[in-house]
Protein backbone atom coordinates (compact mmCIF):
# COMPACT_ATOMS: atom_id res chain seq x y z
CA UNK A 1 0.00 0.00 0.00
CA UNK A 2 1.37 3.39 -1.04
CA UNK A 3 0.90 6.36 1.28
CA UNK A 4 1.70 9.90 0.13
CA UNK A 5 0.98 12.90 2.32
CA UNK A 6 0.61 16.21 0.50
CA UNK A 7 1.54 18.76 3.12
CA UNK A 8 3.55 21.78 4.17
CA UNK A 9 5.79 22.03 7.22
CA UNK A 10 4.15 25.26 8.43
CA UNK A 11 0.55 24.02 8.26
CA UNK A 12 -0.80 23.19 11.73
CA UNK A 13 -3.25 20.79 10.12
CA UNK A 14 -0.46 18.91 8.38
CA UNK A 15 1.54 19.03 11.61
CA UNK A 16 -1.30 17.20 13.34
CA UNK A 17 -0.90 14.29 10.94
CA UNK A 18 2.91 14.32 11.19
CA UNK A 19 2.71 14.10 14.98
CA UNK A 20 0.42 11.11 14.66
CA UNK A 21 2.70 9.41 12.13
CA UNK A 22 5.69 9.87 14.46
CA UNK A 23 3.83 8.73 17.56
CA UNK A 24 2.48 5.60 15.88
CA UNK A 25 5.76 4.80 14.17
CA UNK A 26 4.15 4.56 10.75
CA UNK A 27 6.80 3.87 8.13
CA UNK A 28 6.87 4.46 4.40
CA UNK A 29 4.80 7.64 4.20
CA UNK A 30 6.11 9.91 1.44
CA UNK A 31 5.70 13.58 2.37
CA UNK A 32 5.59 16.10 -0.43
CA UNK A 33 4.22 19.49 -1.37
CA UNK A 34 0.92 19.65 -3.23
CA UNK A 35 1.57 19.22 -6.98
CA UNK A 36 1.23 22.62 -8.59
CA UNK A 37 0.95 24.21 -5.14
CA UNK A 38 -1.85 24.52 -2.62
CA UNK A 39 -5.02 25.68 -4.31
CA UNK A 40 -3.72 24.99 -7.81
CA UNK A 41 -5.89 23.48 -10.50
CA UNK A 42 -3.47 20.56 -10.71
CA UNK A 43 -3.87 19.77 -7.02
CA UNK A 44 -7.65 20.22 -7.19
CA UNK A 45 -7.73 17.26 -9.54
CA UNK A 46 -6.65 15.22 -6.52
CA UNK A 47 -8.35 17.17 -3.73
CA UNK A 48 -11.18 19.45 -4.91
CA UNK A 49 -10.74 21.92 -2.04
CA UNK A 50 -7.09 22.46 -2.98
CA UNK A 51 -6.15 22.38 0.69
CA UNK A 52 -3.46 20.52 2.60
CA UNK A 53 -3.04 18.04 4.07
CA UNK A 54 -4.33 15.30 1.82
CA UNK A 55 -3.34 11.66 2.04
CA UNK A 56 -3.18 9.58 -1.12
CA UNK A 57 -3.68 5.88 -0.41
CA UNK A 58 -2.84 4.10 -3.64
CA UNK A 59 -5.29 5.80 -6.06
CA UNK A 60 -7.64 7.26 -3.42
CA UNK A 61 -7.14 10.69 -1.82
CA UNK A 62 -8.38 11.40 1.71
CA UNK A 63 -8.80 15.08 2.59
CA UNK A 64 -9.16 17.01 5.88
CA UNK A 65 -6.68 16.49 8.69
CA UNK A 66 -8.99 14.88 11.23
CA UNK A 67 -10.37 12.49 8.61
CA UNK A 68 -6.81 11.53 7.72
CA UNK A 69 -6.05 10.95 11.40
CA UNK A 70 -9.17 8.82 11.75
CA UNK A 71 -8.11 6.72 8.77
CA UNK A 72 -4.61 6.22 10.18
CA UNK A 73 -6.08 5.23 13.56
CA UNK A 74 -8.26 2.64 11.84
CA UNK A 75 -5.44 1.40 9.63
CA UNK A 76 -2.79 1.36 12.40
CA UNK A 77 -4.73 0.85 15.64
CA UNK A 78 -1.67 0.37 17.87
CA UNK A 79 -0.60 2.36 19.70
CA UNK A 80 -3.93 4.15 19.95
CA UNK A 81 -3.88 7.93 20.05
CA UNK A 82 -7.25 8.17 21.75
CA UNK A 83 -7.80 7.40 25.43
CA UNK A 84 -9.21 3.94 26.06
CA UNK A 85 -11.91 5.05 28.51
CA UNK A 86 -14.99 6.32 26.60
CA UNK A 87 -15.52 9.53 28.61
CA UNK A 88 -11.85 10.49 28.34
CA UNK A 89 -11.95 9.71 24.62
CA UNK A 90 -14.96 11.99 24.22
CA UNK A 91 -13.15 14.82 26.02
CA UNK A 92 -10.08 14.39 23.83
CA UNK A 93 -12.24 14.50 20.70
CA UNK A 94 -13.94 17.62 22.05
CA UNK A 95 -10.62 19.40 22.55
CA UNK A 96 -9.59 18.59 18.97
CA UNK A 97 -12.95 19.90 17.76
CA UNK A 98 -12.73 23.06 19.86
CA UNK A 99 -9.26 23.65 18.46
CA UNK A 100 -10.49 23.49 14.88
CA UNK A 101 -13.63 25.57 15.36
CA UNK A 102 -12.80 28.11 18.03
CA UNK A 103 -9.01 28.51 17.85
CA UNK A 104 -7.90 27.86 14.28
CA UNK A 105 -11.14 29.22 12.83
CA UNK A 106 -10.89 32.81 14.10
CA UNK A 107 -7.09 32.80 14.14
CA UNK A 108 -6.71 32.16 10.43
CA UNK A 109 -9.36 34.73 9.58
CA UNK A 110 -6.80 37.32 10.69
CA UNK A 111 -4.13 36.33 8.16
CA UNK A 112 -5.40 38.79 5.54
CA UNK A 113 -4.88 41.61 8.04
CA UNK A 114 -1.19 41.28 8.87
CA UNK A 115 -0.34 44.59 7.17
CA UNK A 116 -1.07 47.59 9.37
CA UNK A 117 -1.77 49.72 6.32
CA UNK A 118 -4.68 47.60 5.13
CA UNK A 119 -5.76 46.08 8.45
CA UNK A 120 -9.36 46.19 9.60
CA UNK A 121 -8.53 46.51 13.27
CA UNK A 122 -12.12 46.07 14.44
CA UNK A 123 -12.37 42.81 12.49
CA UNK A 124 -9.07 41.57 13.94
CA UNK A 125 -10.05 42.52 17.47
CA UNK A 126 -13.33 40.62 17.15
CA UNK A 127 -11.56 37.51 15.86
CA UNK A 128 -9.03 37.65 18.70
CA UNK A 129 -11.84 37.84 21.23
CA UNK A 130 -13.22 34.66 19.68
CA UNK A 131 -9.78 33.05 19.76
CA UNK A 132 -9.35 33.83 23.44
CA UNK A 133 -12.80 32.40 24.15
CA UNK A 134 -11.83 29.25 22.29
CA UNK A 135 -8.82 28.78 24.53
CA UNK A 136 -11.01 29.27 27.61
CA UNK A 137 -13.37 26.60 26.28
CA UNK A 138 -10.46 24.17 26.12
CA UNK A 139 -9.34 25.15 29.61
CA UNK A 140 -12.87 24.57 30.89
CA UNK A 141 -13.04 21.17 29.21
CA UNK A 142 -9.72 20.08 30.70
CA UNK A 143 -10.50 21.28 34.23
CA UNK A 144 -14.03 19.90 34.36
CA UNK A 145 -12.96 16.56 32.97
CA UNK A 146 -10.62 15.99 35.89
CA UNK A 147 -8.34 14.27 33.38
CA UNK A 148 -5.87 17.04 32.64
CA UNK A 149 -2.65 15.82 34.19
CA UNK A 150 1.00 16.34 33.35
CA UNK A 151 1.81 18.04 30.08
CA UNK A 152 -0.97 16.46 28.02
CA UNK A 153 -4.40 17.74 27.06
CA UNK A 154 -6.22 14.74 28.49
CA UNK A 155 -4.66 11.96 30.55
CA UNK A 156 -0.99 11.13 30.88
CA UNK A 157 -0.12 10.20 27.31
CA UNK A 158 -0.07 11.90 23.93
CA UNK A 159 -3.41 11.86 22.11
CA UNK A 160 -4.86 13.37 18.95
CA UNK A 161 -6.12 16.21 21.14
CA UNK A 162 -2.47 17.21 21.61
CA UNK A 163 -1.74 16.66 17.92
CA UNK A 164 -4.43 19.22 17.13
CA UNK A 165 -3.81 21.68 19.95
CA UNK A 166 -0.02 21.97 20.08
CA UNK A 167 0.45 23.16 16.45
CA UNK A 168 -2.41 25.62 16.90
CA UNK A 169 -0.74 27.10 19.97
CA UNK A 170 2.48 27.38 17.99
CA UNK A 171 0.62 29.81 15.74
CA UNK A 172 -0.93 31.69 18.63
CA UNK A 173 2.47 32.31 20.18
CA UNK A 174 4.56 32.73 17.03
CA UNK A 175 2.13 34.44 14.65
CA UNK A 176 -0.79 36.13 16.41
CA UNK A 177 1.11 37.42 19.43
CA UNK A 178 3.95 39.14 17.54
CA UNK A 179 1.96 40.32 14.50
CA UNK A 180 -0.88 41.88 16.48
CA UNK A 181 1.11 42.70 19.63
CA UNK A 182 -1.19 40.57 21.76
CA UNK A 183 0.51 38.60 24.48
CA UNK A 184 -2.69 38.32 26.50
CA UNK A 185 -4.52 35.72 24.42
CA UNK A 186 -3.18 32.58 26.06
CA UNK A 187 -4.94 31.65 29.27
CA UNK A 188 -2.88 30.59 32.27
CA UNK A 189 -3.89 27.00 31.69
CA UNK A 190 -2.90 27.11 28.06
CA UNK A 191 0.44 28.70 28.89
CA UNK A 192 1.19 25.89 31.33
CA UNK A 193 0.09 23.28 28.82
CA UNK A 194 2.15 24.91 26.04
CA UNK A 195 5.30 24.90 28.16
CA UNK A 196 4.87 21.20 28.89
CA UNK A 197 3.78 19.78 25.54
CA UNK A 198 6.83 21.16 23.75
CA UNK A 199 8.98 18.58 25.53
CA UNK A 200 7.11 15.59 24.12
CA UNK A 201 9.48 13.56 21.95
CA UNK A 202 6.96 13.29 19.10
CA UNK A 203 5.65 16.85 19.26
CA UNK A 204 8.97 18.64 19.66
CA UNK A 205 10.46 17.68 16.25
CA UNK A 206 7.27 18.72 14.45
CA UNK A 207 7.22 22.09 16.21
CA UNK A 208 10.87 22.50 15.19
CA UNK A 209 9.86 21.85 11.56
CA UNK A 210 7.14 24.48 11.87
CA UNK A 211 9.59 26.98 13.36
CA UNK A 212 12.08 26.42 10.54
CA UNK A 213 9.34 26.83 7.93
CA UNK A 214 8.13 30.04 9.60
CA UNK A 215 11.67 31.45 9.70
CA UNK A 216 12.09 30.63 5.99
CA UNK A 217 8.76 32.29 5.14
CA UNK A 218 9.73 35.45 7.05
CA UNK A 219 13.10 35.53 5.31
CA UNK A 220 11.31 35.61 1.96
The residues spanned by each domain of the chain are: 3-75, 86-219
User: CA 26: distance to chain centroid?
Assistant: 19
Q: What is the pLDDT of residue 152?
A: 96
Q: Which CATH class is domain 86-219?
A: mainly alpha
> 32 has which bridge partners?
6
Please tell me the predicted confidence (pLDDT) of residue 138. Answer: 97
pLDDT the model gives residue 147: 87
Q: Which residues pair with 6 in a beta bridge?
A: 32, 54
What's the rounded Cα separation, in Å, for the pair 122 and 110?
Answer: 11
Q: How far is CA 64 from the centre of its chain?
A: 11
The CA distance from 184 to 177, in Å, is 8
Segment 52-89, tens digit of pLDDT: 999 999 999 999 999 999 999 999 999 999 999 999 99
Report d(CA 173, CA 161) in Å as an integer: 18
CB 210, CB 15: distance < 8 Å:
yes
Distance of alpha carbon 38 from its chain centroid, rounded? 17
pLDDT of residue 1: 77
DSSP 125-194: HHHHHHHHHHHHHHHHHHHHHT-B-TTSSSBSS--HHHHHHHHHHHHIIIIIHHHHT----S-HHHHHHH
Which residues of the chain have a pLDDT value below 70? Answer: none
The reported pTM is 0.96
Per-residue DSSP letters for 2-46? -EEEE--TT-HHHHHHHHHHHHHT---EEEEPPTT-TT-HHHHTT
Say whether 102 sits in a helix, a strand or coil.
Answer: helix
Burial 151-190 (b: 16+ CB within 10 A, else e): bbbbbeebbbbbbbbbbbbbbbbebbeebbebeebbbebb
Q: What is the structure's pLDDT at 148? A: 84
Topology of domain 3-75 in CATH is: Glutaredoxin (3.40.30)
Question: What's the sign of the alpha-carbon dihedral 149, 154, 155, 157?
Answer: negative
Amino acid sequence: MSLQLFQGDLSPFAARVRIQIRAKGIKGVTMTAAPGGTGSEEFRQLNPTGKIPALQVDAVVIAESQTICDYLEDRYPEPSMWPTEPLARAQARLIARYTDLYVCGPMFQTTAHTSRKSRDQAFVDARLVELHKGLTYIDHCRVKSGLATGCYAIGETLTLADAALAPALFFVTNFVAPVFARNDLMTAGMNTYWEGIQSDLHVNPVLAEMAAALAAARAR
